[in-house]
Amino acid sequence: MSLIKIIVISLFSLVFITGCANKKENITLKNTKTKSEKIIVEKKVDKNCKNYIFSMKHASSYIKNEFNQAYFKKNDFLGAKAQLFLVKNNSSGIFAKNINKANTSYEKYFTLAVKNKCDLGSFKFLPLIVIENKISLGK
């Protein structure tokens, strides 16, 4: 009878110890999964910010370069002012359409960057406002 008691007690202890050991392993697995998910989310937001800023820089430089090549290199501030008027009024001219598309793209990515809380320190002014200021200084 004592042999049966020893076997029953040892089996009970073995079941109890293995039951406790499995719970600890499950807890550590859950913790590692949540940490890796957080890292992926942070990288994704950072990647989106880089894409938004890249697109904004491209649109802004396109607008500035087009006005520089067409008007500012020739010191044609009156022509630049007229073209800016056409751009603001959504003219059907090719130059105005292209500038408006770039400006719309800039504003779209600016809005997305603000929503994602990206660092927009280098984007204080809209490109058309920069052009407008350059025209007013050039007179």
How far, CA to CA in Å, does 6 sit from each of 3, 11, 13, 17, 19?
A: 5, 9, 10, 16, 20
Determine the Cα angle at 97 with ends 64 and 104, to 5°: 70
Provide the pLDDT for residue 14. 65
Q: How do residues 44-84 score in pLDDT, each as one tens digit?
A: 657 888 999 999 999 999 999 999 999 999 999 999 999 99
User: What pTM did the predictor assign?
Assistant: 0.64
Provide the pLDDT for residue 131. 93
